[in-house]
Structure 1
Amino acid sequence: MSADQRPLPFIYQFAAGAIAGVSEILVMYPLDVVKTRIQLQVGSGPTAEYSGILDCLKKIIKNEGPARLYRGISAPILMEAPKRATKFAANDEWGKIYKKAFGITEMTQPLAILTGATAGATESFVVVPFELVKIRLQDKTSKYKGMGDVVKAIVKQEGVLALYNGLEATLWRHISWNAGYFGVIFQIRTLLPKATNNTEKTINDLISGAIGGTVGTMINTPFDVVKSRIQNTPVVEGAVRKYNWTIPSLGIILKEEGFSALYKGFLPKVLRLGPGGGILLVVFTNCMDFFRGYYYK
């Protein structure tokens, strides 16, 4: 086993994923705010408030101030550590479990997709409450003072279980993204020239992670649009929710707004998660290499 493949205890995988996640969110968060605003608006063309990324950025800065681009970042910052840590750690751990279960020693393309999907499902249970709070804060009409105010209002008005509103849609979103992300990373790494030094390794990770993030985003954006709609709809006793379950909600959007509405916010999302996927992989692998040097010294 090569030095860069030596296993590490779970805590080191968790820490590397946490550092990678926070690094990515600090760089790319404003695009996430733009993505959510575009996904939440109903209608398109002349009736849409935001005509695109630059228009949305311009209007937010002009009408609400630059600080609004980081509105709700406390929830993702708190979420990124467990979210990304769970993503990478679960991917490694599930990979070990599947290799043992299937009696194989090396990762394969189908196994990379399977472990990614399972890691995404695992990750979903961690992120739902944080995603719910973030969506409520990012909405232009939001009157909440901060993360604590959102949690308090949801628990009081909708009940504790409402913190997991949108879990099913989140499962669809994370399973599809992680399956695409890790599956593509495995394939691209086999196609790229073998790295002979750290610089080449970083370039390979950046390329494979960016392509993986782009493909994952192409697959999961419709589920992300639905998730945003579901989580931004409060649970009111006796009221019928327009957006509730993923597949029926996809049908509603498709019927009322057309196929293109399923990809609302795609450009800011892919601009974030394409390069962001590269940042994630580069920071994670470098942290793991550092921890291996410390652990095996």
Structure 2
Amino acid sequence: MSDSTVHAIAGAGGGIISMAMTYPLITVSSRLQVQKDGKSKDAYKSGLDAVRKIIAKEGVRGLYSGLDSALFGISLTNYTYYYFYEFTKSIINKVQMSTLEQMSAGAVAGAATVMITNPIWVVNTRIATRNAASPSARPMGTVETAMQMIRESGFKSFWQGVTPALILVINPIIQYTVFEKLKDRIAKTRALSSVDFFILGAISKLAATAITYPYIVVKSRMQLKQSDDAKERYSSIMDGFRKIIKHEGIAGLYKGIESKLLQSILTASFLFMAQASLVEYVAKLLTSLGLRAAQPKRI
């Protein structure tokens, strides 16, 4: 197996670990993002208020709604991203890539990942926000949610929000470019430790999420079942921006940003740390199983 596959498997494993550790924060940020009426008694006033109300109404398990689809989604997402990212880097075939080349590798990997995994994240968003949208609704699993989407809107519903998701490819582009540049700078002076990867992951994800958060809000809302009410329905990205600003103000574009930043930073930190540690172990395992030729150098 190629180096691209080794990095992809390690990335999938790192994604599962980081997702499992931070999923409650994802649930909270998702519900705050899609909440349009912040004045009702059931509305979430903050991240902590959301945690309290979710536990009170749904129990602790409510914080983990959709975890199964999220773990599957993040493993496939990271596998795809790391595979295409490393594959594109191998085509460029340079020891030291320029910023533009690193961004190009990120763009290819990000676009491929979105097209392959968007249906998974639409289902996950529906599950994670179902109780917030319909408090009396019974919990539904991944397969049941997917079948309901097909019955109500057809297969096209799996691609809701794909346009803002493609635009949000800039998020991992920024993240991985910042990460690679900082990593290369430190690597010139000393070997990187797990703590270095954790910190670099936090810094790179902070930069990416802070810049792209309004698009994340629009994407999350476009992935929901669209209302028949024209005021509630977003026909395009710009329409989403216009309606959010009109009805909720600029602050509406940043709903849940506190919990999202915390979740994103921790997820990225654990991901980069775990992926860097897993690469060598995955390579050794595949070699011992005869699925990969012995390599003279560490990848």
Give the structure-1-normalised TM-score: 0.86
Is this contact kept in 2: 1:109–1:186, CA < 8 A?
no
Among candidates 211, 215, 226, match of residue 219 of structure 1: 211
| Distance in 2 separating the partners of 1:160 and 1:33 | 25
Q: How far apart are the structure 1 equivalents of 2:251 and 2:118? A: 26
Larger RCO (CA under 8 A, 6+ residues apart)? 2
Larger mean Cα displacement after TM superposition, 157-166 or 45-54: 45-54
Structure 2 counterparts to residues 1-297 of structure 1, below 5 A: 8-44=2-38, 49-97=43-91, 99=92, 105-139=95-129, 140=132, 141=134, 142-173=137-168, 175-192=169-186, 194=188, 196=190, 200-234=192-226, 242-293=233-284, 294=287, 295-296=294-295
Alignment partners' CA distance in 2, 1:240 and 1:93: 44
Distance 1:284 1:219, change over 3 A: same
Equivalents in 2 of 1:127, 1:138: separation in Å?
Answer: 17
Alpha-carbon shift at residue 13 of structure 1 (Å)? 2.3
Percent of aligned pairs with the same amino acid: 23
Which one-letter code corresponds to 2:13 in the other structure?
A: I
Give CA deviations for 1:210-257 in whole Å, capped at 9, x if unaligned.
111111111221111111111112487x98972132222122212322
**Unaligned ranges ≥5, structure 1:** 1-6
Cα distance 1:243–1:144, how it changes in 2: closer, same or farther (>3 A)?
A: farther
How many matched pairs? 283
Distance 1:85 1:261 in 2: 33
- Deviation, 1:281, is 1.0
Q: Is the 8 A contact 2:18 2:270 kept in 1?
A: yes
Question: CA-to-partner distance for each residue in 1:46-76, whole Å, 9 max, x for gaps?
Answer: 8781111111111111122111000111111
Stretches of structure 2 lacking an aligned partner (at least 5 in a row): 288-293
**CA–CA distance in 1 between the matches of 2:87 and 2:253?**
33
Whether contact under 8 Å (1:243, 1:249) holds in the other structure is yes
Shift of 1:292: 3.9
TM-score by length of 2: 0.86
Matches of 1:273 and 1:170 in 2, distance apart? 16
RMSD of aligned residue pairs (Cα, Å): 2.5
